[in-house]
Amino acid sequence: MGKFLSVCMANEIVDIAWVVTEGAAGMENQALGLAERLALPVAVKRVKLRPFWRRFAPRLPVSPFGVATADSSPLAPPWPRLVIGCGRQSIPFVLAIKRASGGRAIVVQTQRPRIAPAKFDLIIPPEHDGLIGSNVFPILGSPNRITPATLAEARTTFANLFESLRPPRLTVLIGGASGAYRFGANEIDSLTAALKALAHDFGLIVLTSRRTGAENAARIAAALDGSGAYLWHGEGENPYQGALAWADAFLVTADSVNMACEAAATGKPIHIFPLEGGSKKFRMFHASLEQRGIARPFAGKIAQWSYTPLDETGRAATRIQQLLDVSATAPDMKA
């Protein structure tokens, strides 16, 4: 009897969604963006494998529960009805939860997992990855947490920072060097020259990122000294959503899918600032934005146009909800 009860408890499912990631903000926001669109409470689980085992992810030969770092979130029954994972190290944990729940937890993975898609109930990769399959739901770019409601709230919250800026307001989202793009002295020279020229006609809201680097951020700040531009590069409260909400147009460096997609959720014109480098996937992504009338290459001027705000997150969340609805009617899933 005791063994039977233990098995039942181990397979117990509760109506909650777990977001399972390595803890990086970009990954976590993708999974949270999907989870927050559903009618389930959400719990965030940050997990990492011990250094020796990380090299094996996502194809881990042992249970991840026994080789997680001490600061990883505990994962134990009752298991969630839904798991949304993002990131290479999350995959062994997501699949282990599926097994531990007796297959009853629905598991969804964002980005391309680089293992057999059949292991998941649903995969939500970017279109430019080219992944296809019966349980694959490609979207343009990446999921995010930007909605009309969050933008409206952010516009109020950050009015003290941005309302006084001279309109029209141009939000500039700056990434940095990556596996595909360079972001060195030449790129900074081109960018700072463009920003100095644009500051004559726009109130600038300029946000750098971790990848921008302190030296590059300092050069941008020096170039805009006295221009009246608002600059943020990592200190104090992050005004990112306010910068989206108050923008009349965007200038976004070419290296970031996430920043372009979040800007696209506003329906405001996006100008892609070119960087040296690139890849086939990035070219496909930027071409898709252009084809949908969302973005154009930056050619020295800021233009105005309109389009329907991009909401691939909502489209993907609808597909997840369909899976939840089906599972709720299955005999062994009823409460």
Residue 231 pairs in a beta bridge with 206
CA dist., res. 63 & res. 92, Å (int): 8
CA dist., res. 36 & res. 49, Å (int): 26
The CA distances from residue 106 to 138, 165, 255, 318, 325, in Å, are: 18, 47, 33, 14, 11
Amino acid (1-letter code) at residue 160: N
Answer yes or no: is pLDDT of 2 > 70: no
Which strands make up the sheet holding 106-110, listed edge to edge? 42-46, 13-21, 79-86, 106-110, 122-124
Q: How confident is the model at residue 237 (pLDDT cuts 50, 70, 90)?
A: confident
Residues of the chain with CATH 3.40.50.2000: 148-297
Q: What is the pLDDT of residues 113-139, one digit of tens each?
A: 999 999 999 999 999 999 999 999 999
CA dist., res. 163 & res. 256, Å (int): 27
Is 3.40.50.2000 the CATH number for 148-297?
yes
Spell out the long-range contacts of 293-299 with Cβ–Cβ below 8 A and sequence spacing 24 or more: 294/264, 294/270, 295/252, 295/260, 295/264, 295/269, 295/270, 295/271, 296/269, 296/270, 296/271, 296/272, 297/271, 297/272, 298/194, 298/251, 298/271, 298/272, 298/273, 298/274
For position 329, what pLDDT does the model report?
A: 72
Contact 81, 16 (CB under 8 A): yes
CA dist., res. 151 & res. 246, Å (int): 9
Is 3.40.50 the CATH number for 2-143+313-333?
yes
Which residues contact residue 17 at a Cβ distance below 8 angstroms, ignoring those fewer than 6 apart?
35, 38, 40, 41, 42, 43, 80, 81, 82, 83, 84
Q: Burial letters for 139-153: b for 16+ Cβ neighbours within 10 Å, e otherwise?
A: bbbbbbbbbeebbee
Structure token digits, residue 202: 């726009």
Contact 30, 86 (CB under 8 A): yes
Q: What is the pLDDT of residues 134-162, one digit of tens each?
A: 999 999 999 999 999 999 999 999 999 99
For the residues 185-201, what does the mean pLDDT come to? 96
Nearest to 232 by CA among 26, 242, 178: 242
Structure token digits, residue 64: 């991840």
In the chain, pLDDT over 90 holds for what percent of residues? 91
Answer yes or no: is pLDDT of 334 > 60: no
> Residue 321: exposed, middle, or buried by beta-carbon count in 10 A (0-12, 13-18, 19+)?
middle
CA dist., res. 248 & res. 250, Å (int): 7
CA dist., res. 200 & res. 216, Å (int): 22
Q: What is the pLDDT of residues 277-330, one digit of tens each?
A: 999 999 999 999 999 999 999 999 999 999 999 999 999 999 999 999 998 776
Which residues contact residue 87 at a Cβ distance below 8 angstroms, ignoring those fewer than 6 apart?
21, 22, 24, 27, 111
> Residue 118: exposed, middle, or buried by beta-carbon count in 10 A (0-12, 13-18, 19+)?
exposed
